[in-house]
C-alpha cells in the first residue's frame, strides 16, 4: 500500500534518484471526487490511485460514484473506470464490490458518452453479462437502438458466441454496412461450425481482400481442419496464388498436418523443395522451415 | 583407448538436464575408462568453452566459495564421482542450446566434454530472432488447436478459479508456479526455450511487431506476418487475439500510468507492502489495453499470449525485490504476508490449486492440468507445491529449492 507522506510531486530528476513520495489512496480520491479540482488534476489522481477494495474506507465507493454520475466530466469518469478495472484484477479483495461495479457499468452502458458506453459494455461482455449481450444484440437487430458501432458490438459478442449472435452475424456478413462490420461478423462466425462452406468459398476467392482470406484460413482450420488441409495443399500448388496466402497455407501444413502422410506425399515435397529455392521471400522462409522439418 | 571421463550436469547424465542458471548447479565427474592411468588418482582441469555469442560458465569445487573460470579436481581412477558446482556467468546467458561446452582435461588432453546451455529468462524486446521464433513455435505447438495442455492454463486462470490466485498475498507465489508450469511444458517441446518478459515500464516496440506478439489493426485484431506460428492461435472457440492499446499508449513508447521498476521496488521492504504491486504496476499494465482487449480483464487475459510476458515481468520484479531485500526465506516474516485470516491458498503452508488436485475450493469444481510439470534438472518446487515452496526459487536458503530459472538482470550474489 502507498506510504503516508505529504503530497509531494517530486521533480523528474529527484524521482530517478530516490523513490517518489507516494500519496495515499484517500488523499488521491479526495482530489478526484472534488468538483473544486480541475479535470486534469482529477484524472491524474485517478490514474495514480491504487484502489484496494478490501479497505473499509470510501475510496471505491467514491470511484463508483464518479463513474455512475453523468454530471461528471467524461474524462474523469473514464479514469475512474480504469482505476476500478485495475482494482478488479485483485479478485478476492474486489469481490465485495463486484456486484455494485457491474450494476454501475450496466447503467453506464446506456450513457450519452460513446467512449464510456463502449468501455462499460466491454467489461460486461468479457464477463459474459447477459444484460450487455442482450443490449448488443438488440442494437444489431435494430440500428436505432445501437449503443456501439456494429463492428464493436460483434466484437464484444464474440467473447461468448452463441446461436442468436451467429444469426445476426450471418445476416450482417451477407449485407454489411461497412468492411469493418463484415470483418467482425466473419470473425464471430469463425466459431460457428455451420459456417465452414462460407469460409471455404472466401478462402478460395482470389478477388477477396487479403484480411478476409487470412481470417477464412484461420476459421476453416478451426472448424474443419481436414478440409482446410486439403485446400491449403491446393493453394500451395497454385502458381497464380498470392505469396501471403501461400505462406499461410504452407505454415498450416507444416505445423498441423499428419507427418506420416506428409512423408509419403512426393508431389508436395517436390513442390515445397522448389518453393524453398525460388519464390517470394515470405514463401521461401516457410518453405525452408518445412524442408528442415520433413526432409529425409 | 584413452582416458575417458563422464561429466554430469545437475548430477544427471540426461542431456535434458544440461541447463544452468546463475544459481550453482551440483555437478559430478568420474573416470569412465581409466585406460593408461597408472596412479590411483588423476588430476582433471574443468573449464568452459564458449562460442562467440554463446553463454559462459564458471566453477567451484565446493558448495560455498568464489567461482572461477576453471578448477582442478583430484578424481579417483576407480570410477567414483567427484562433486563440483557450475553456474552461468552473470551477463553471459546462452542464446541457443549447447552454445557453451564444459570440458575436462588431463594435462592438455581433452578427456571429456558436455554441451550445456545457460538458460535464462530475457527481455522480450531484445530477444534474438532465433530465440523469439523458437519461443513462438513452442507456444503455438502447446496451444495446438486451442485444445491440449494450453487450454488447461486457460482454465486455471478463468473466472471461477481467479480467487485462488488474486487479491491476496498468494498472488505472486501462485503466478510463479503457473509460469514455471507453462515454461516447463514449453521446454518439453523445445528445451532451449525460456519465457521472455515484457518490461512494461519501458518502450518495447519489438514485442508489438507482426513478427513477434503481433500488431493491432484498427479493430483490435492482432495481425501477424504470413506463416507466423501464432497465425492459427485459438482460445475457447474463436480464433485470433483481440488487443488494442488505449489511445494514450503508443506501443513504441512506455505505457503511461504504470509505475516503473524503481518505484515498484520502493513500495516497501515488507512483502505486505510490496504485494501492493498487484494493483500498480500489474493491474495497470493489464488495463493499458482497451475494452475489447483480452488482456484488460482477469477472466480473459490468458487468451492473449502477451499475458505470459506481462506476468513474467511481474515475477521478475518480485525476484528483484527479493534479491534487494533478502526475502527468499519463508521463515523471515517480511518475506511474506502470513495471516490466518487470508483465504485458503494464500497461507504459507497451503498447497496451491490446481496442482494439489483439490476440487472443493472452486466452483464449478475442477482442477485442470494435473500436477506441476517436473524438470529433468531440478526437483523443486515439487509436483504439488505449497505457497512457501515458491519463495526460494534459486536455492539461496536451501540448495534443494532451486527451480531452474533465472532472469538476465537479477544477479545471484
Ligand atoms: Cu495478471
pTM of the predicted structure, to 2 decimals = 0.92
Domain for residue B12, yes or no? yes
Candidate ranges A80-94, B135-149, B293-307; pick with highest mean pLDDT: B293-307
Residue of B nearest to A20 (CA): B263
Among the candidates B69, B88, B118, a domain finishes at B118
User: How far is CA A90 from each of CA A53, B9, B222, B284, rounded to the nearest angstrom?
Assistant: 9, 41, 27, 12
Domain for residue B168, yes or no? yes
CB contact under 8 A, B232 and A222: yes
Candidates A24, A91, A118, A147, partner chain B, best to mutate (most B CBs within 10 A): A91
Phi, psi torsion values for B121, nearest 5 degrees: -75, 125
Whether residue B380 sits in one domain with residue B305: yes
CA distance B372 to B375: 10
CA distance B14 to B16: 5
Across A61-65, A221-225, B146-150, least confident range: B146-150
Whether residue B259 sits in one domain with residue B206: yes
CA B299 to ligand 1 center in whole angstroms: 10
Kindly tell me if the per-residue pLDDT of B124 is higher than 80. Answer: yes
Distance from CA of A260 to the nearest CA of B (A): 18
Find residues 177-196 of chain A whose CB sits inside 8 Å of chain B.
180, 183-184, 187-188, 190-191
Whether residue B263 sits in one domain with residue B183: yes
Q: Which residues of B touch A15 (CB under 8 A)?
A: 263
Domain for residue A123, yes or no? no
Among the candidates A78, A108, A138, a domain finishes at A108
What is the overall mean pLDDT for chain B?
Answer: 92
Whether residue B180 sits in one domain with residue B111: no
Q: Is B36 left (phi over 0), alpha (psi -120 to 50) or beta?
A: left
Domain for residue A117, yes or no? no
Contact B26, B10 (CB under 8 A): yes
Q: Which residues of B touch A120 (CB under 8 A)?
A: 291
Residues in chain A: 296
- The count of other CB atoms within 10 Å of the CB of residue A38 is 11
B319: domain range? Answer: 124-401
Q: Tell me which residue in B145, B163, B292 faces A92 most closely, judged by beta carbons.
A: B163
Domain for residue B411, yes or no? no
Q: Output the nine-digit C-alpha cell for B259.
A: 509505475
pLDDT band for position B222 (cuts 50, 70, 90): very high
- How would DSSP label each residue in B359-409? -SSSSS---TT-SPPP-SS--TT-SS-BGGGGS-TT-SS-GGG--S--BTT
**A24 shares contact with chain B (CB less than 8 Å):** no
CB contact under 8 A, A51 and B167: no
Whether residue B82 sits in one domain with residue B14: yes
Strands B215-216 and B222-223: antiparallel
pLDDT band for position B114 (cuts 50, 70, 90): very high
CB contact under 8 A, A251 and B343: no
Residue of A nearest to B134 (CA): A289
Domain for residue B32, yes or no? yes
Domain for residue A14, yes or no? no
Write the ipTM.
Answer: 0.86
- The separation between CA A5 and the C-alpha centre of its own chain, rounded to angstroms, equals 39
Q: Quick: pLDDT tens for A6-46.
A: 333 333 333 343 444 567 888 888 888 888 889 999 998 88
Q: Quick: pLDDT tens for B126-147.
A: 999 999 999 999 998 888 755 5
Q: What is the number of domains present in chain A?
A: 3
Whether residue B282 sits in one domain with residue B238: yes
Whether residue B321 sits in one domain with residue B393: yes
C-alpha closest to that of B30 among B102, B85, B114, B112: B112
CB contact under 8 A, B262 and A89: no
Whether residue B161 sits in one domain with residue B182: yes
Distance from CA of A144 to the nearest CA of B (A): 22
Q: Which residues of B touch A283 (CB under 8 A)?
A: 227
Confidence at residue B362, expressed as pLDDT on a 0 to 100 scale: 59
pLDDT band for position B159 (cuts 50, 70, 90): low
Residue B278, exposed/middle/buried by CB under 10 A (0-12, 13-18, 19+)?
buried
User: How far is CA A80 from each of CA A64, A75, B143, B177, B285, rounded to the nearest angstrom?
Assistant: 7, 9, 36, 33, 16
Domain for residue A23, yes or no? no
Structure letter (DSSP) for residue A207: T
CA B302 to ligand 1 center in whole angstroms: 8
**A247 shares contact with chain B (CB less than 8 Å):** yes
User: How far is CA B295 from each of CA A95, B132, B287, rounded to the nearest angstrom?
Assistant: 20, 21, 7
Domain for residue B408, yes or no? no
Among the candidates B100, B118, B136, a domain finishes at B118
- The separation between CA B120 and the C-alpha centre of its own chain, rounded to angstroms, equals 7
Whether residue B84 sits in one domain with residue B129: no
Query: Among all chains, which residue has been given the C-alpha cell 507522506?
Result: A5
CB contact under 8 A, B291 and A250: no
Strands B109-118 and B19-20: parallel
Phi, psi torsion values for A96, nearest 5 degrees: -65, -25
Domain for residue A196, yes or no? no
Whether residue B266 sits in one domain with residue B235: yes
Whether residue B136 sits in one domain with residue B245: yes
For chains A and B, count residue pairs whose Cβ atoms are closer than 8 Å.
180
Confidence at residue A146, expressed as pLDDT on a 0 to 100 scale: 96
A97: domain range? Answer: 32-108
Q: Output the nine-digit C-alpha cell for A239.
A: 502458381
**Can you tell me the mean pLDDT for A165-179?**
95
User: How far is CA B170 from each of CA A187, B29, B269, B358, rounded to the nearest angstrom?
Assistant: 37, 40, 17, 16
CB contact under 8 A, B237 and A92: no
User: How far is CA B253 from each of CA A7, B65, B256, B258, B317, rounded to the nearest angstrom?
Assistant: 27, 43, 9, 12, 20
Across B38-42, B132-136, B141-145, B198-202, least confident range: B141-145
Q: What is the number of domains present in chain B?
A: 2
CATH number for position B95: 2.60.40
Whether residue B213 sits in one domain with residue B108: no
Domain for residue B329, yes or no? yes
C-alpha closest to that of B171 among B269, B308, B286, B274: B274
Kindly tell me if the per-residue pLDDT of B1 is higher than 80. Answer: no
**Can you tell me the mean pLDDT for A193-209?**
96
CB contact under 8 A, B299 and A16: no
DSSP H helices in B158-289: 171-189, 261-265, 271-274, 284-286
Whether residue A277 sits in one domain with residue A230: yes
Q: Output the nine-digit C-alpha cell for B184.
A: 516447463
CA distance A48 to B258: 9
Domain for residue A276, yes or no? yes
Q: Which residues of B touch A20 (CB under 8 A)?
A: 263, 266
**A90 shares contact with chain B (CB less than 8 Å):** yes
Among the candidates B118, B143, B175, a domain finishes at B118
Q: Is B369 left (phi over 0), alpha (psi -120 to 50) or beta?
A: left
Amino acid at each position: 500500500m502507498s506510504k503516508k507522506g505529504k503530497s509531494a510531486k517530486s521533480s523528474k530528476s529527484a524521482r530517478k534518484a530516490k523513490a517518489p513520495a507516494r500519496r495515499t489512496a484517500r488523499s488521491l480520491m479526495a482530489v478526484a471526487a472534488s468538483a473544486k479540482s480541475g479535470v486534469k488534476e482529477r484524472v491524474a489522481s485517478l490514474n495514480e490511485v491504487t484502489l484496494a477494495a478490501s479497505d473499509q474506507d470510501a475510496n471505491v465507493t467514491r470511484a463508483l460514484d464518479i463513474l455512475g454520475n453523468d454530471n461528471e466530466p467524461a474524462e474523469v469518469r473514464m479514469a475512474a473506470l480504469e482505476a476500478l478495472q485495475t482494482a478488479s484484477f485483485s479478485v478476492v479483495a474486489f469481490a465485495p464490490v463486484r456486484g455494485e461495479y457491474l450494476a454501475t457499468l450496466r447503467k453506464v452502458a446506456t450513457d450519452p458518452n460513446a467512449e464510456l458506453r463502449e468501455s462499460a459494455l466491454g467489461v460486461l461482455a468479457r464477463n459474459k453479462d447477459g444484460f450487455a449481450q442482450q443490449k448488443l444484440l438488440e442494437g444489431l437487430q435494430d440500428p436505432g437502438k445501437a449503443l456501439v458501432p456494429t463492428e464493436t458490438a460483434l466484437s464484444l459478442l464474440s467473447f461468448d458466441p452463441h446461436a442468436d449472435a451467429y444469426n445476426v452475424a450471418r445476416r450482417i456478413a451477407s449485407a454489411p454496412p461497412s468492411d469493418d462490420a463484415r470483418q467482425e461478423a466473419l470473425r464471430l462466425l469463425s466459431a460457428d461450425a455451420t459456417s465452414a462452406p462460407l469460409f471455404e468459398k472466401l478462402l478460395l476467392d482470389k478477388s477477396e481482400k487479403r484480411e478476409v482470406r487470412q481470417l477464412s484460413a484461420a476459421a476453416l482450420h478451426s472448424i474443419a481442419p481436414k478440409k482446410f488441409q486439403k485446400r491449403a495443399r491446393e493453394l500451395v500448388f497454385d502458381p497464380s496464388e498470392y505469396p501471403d496466402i501461400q505462406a499461410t497455407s504452407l505454415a498450416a501444413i507444416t505445423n498441423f498436418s499428419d507427418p506420416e502422410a506428409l512423408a509419403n506425399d512426393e508431389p508436395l515435397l517436390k513442390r515445397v523443395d522448389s518453393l524453398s529455392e525460388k519464390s517470394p521471400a515470405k514463401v521461401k522462409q516457410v518453405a525452408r522451415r518445412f524442408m528442415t522439418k520433413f526432409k529425409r | 583407448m584413452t582416458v575417458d571421463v563422464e561429466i554430469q550436469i545437475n548430477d544427471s547424465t540426461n542431456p535434458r538436464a544440461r541447463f544452468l542458471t546463475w544459481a550453482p548447479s551440483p555437478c559430478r565427474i568420474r573416470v569412465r575408462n581409466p585406460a593408461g592411468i597408472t596412479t590411483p588418482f588423476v588430476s582433471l582441469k574443468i573449464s568452459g568453452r564458449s562460442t562467440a555469442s554463446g553463454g559462459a560458465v564458471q566453477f567451484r569445487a565446493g558448495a560455498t566459495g568464489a567461482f572461477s573460470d576453471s578448477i582442478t579436481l583430484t578424481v579417483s581412477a576407480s570410477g567414483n564421482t567427484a562433486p563440483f558446482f557450475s553456474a552461468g556467468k552473470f551477463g553471459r546467458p546462452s542464446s541457443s542450446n549447447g552454445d557453451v561446452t564444459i570440458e575436462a582435461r588431463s594435462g592438455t588432453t581433452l578427456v571429456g566434454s558436455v554441451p550445456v546451455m545457460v538458460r535464462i529468462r530475457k527481455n522480450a524486446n531484445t530477444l534474438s530472432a532465433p530465440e523469439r521464433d523458437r519461443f513462438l513455435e513452442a507456444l503455438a505447438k502447446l496451444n495446438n488447436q486451442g485444445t491440449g495442455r494450453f487450454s488447461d492454463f486457460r482454465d486455471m486462470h478463468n473466472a471461477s478459479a481467479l480467487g485462488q490466485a488474486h487479491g491476496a498475498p498468494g498472488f505472486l507465489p501462485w503466478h510463479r508456479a503457473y509460469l514455471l508450469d507453462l515454461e516447463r511444458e514449453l521446454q518439453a517441446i523445445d528445451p532451449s526455450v525460456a519465457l521472455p518478459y515484457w518490461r512494461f515500464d519501458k518502450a518495447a516496440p519489438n514485442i508489438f511487431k507482426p513478427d513477434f506478439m503481433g500488431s493491432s489493426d484498427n479493430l483490435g485484431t492482432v495481425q501477424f506476418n504470413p506463416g507466423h506460428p501464432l497465425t492459427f492461435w485459438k482460445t475457447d472457440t474463436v480464433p485470433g487475439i483481440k488487443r488494442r492499446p488505449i489511445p494514450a499508449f503508443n506501443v513504441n513508447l512506455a505505457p503511461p500510468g504504470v509505475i516503473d521498476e524503481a518505484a515498484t521496488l520502493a513500495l516497501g521492504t515488507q512483502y505486505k507492502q510490496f504485494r501492493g504491486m498487484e494493483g500498480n504496476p500489474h493491474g495497470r499494465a493489464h488495463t493499458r489495453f482497451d475494452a475489447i482487449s483480452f488482456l484488460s480483464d482477469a477472466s480473459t487475459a490468458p487468451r492473449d499470449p502477451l499475458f505470459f510476458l506481462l506476468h513474467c515481468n511481474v515475477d521478475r520484479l518480485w525476484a528483484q525485490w527479493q534479491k534487494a531485500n533478502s526475502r527468499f526465506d519463508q521463515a523471515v516474516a517480511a518475506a511474506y504476508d502470513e495471516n490466518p485470516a487470508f483465504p485458503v491458498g494464500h497461507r504459507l503452508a497451503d498447497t496451491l490449486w490446481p496442482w494439489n488436485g483439490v476440487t472443493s475450493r472452486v466452483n464449478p469444481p475442477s482442477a485442470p492440468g494435473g500436477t506441476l510439470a517436473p524438470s529433468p534438472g531440478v526437483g523443486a518446487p515439487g509436483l504439488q507445491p505449497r505457497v512457501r515452496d515458491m519463495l526460494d526459487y534459486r536455492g539461496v536458503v536451501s540448495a534443494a529449492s532451486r527451480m531452474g530459472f533465472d532472469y538476465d538482470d537479477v544477479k545471484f550474489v
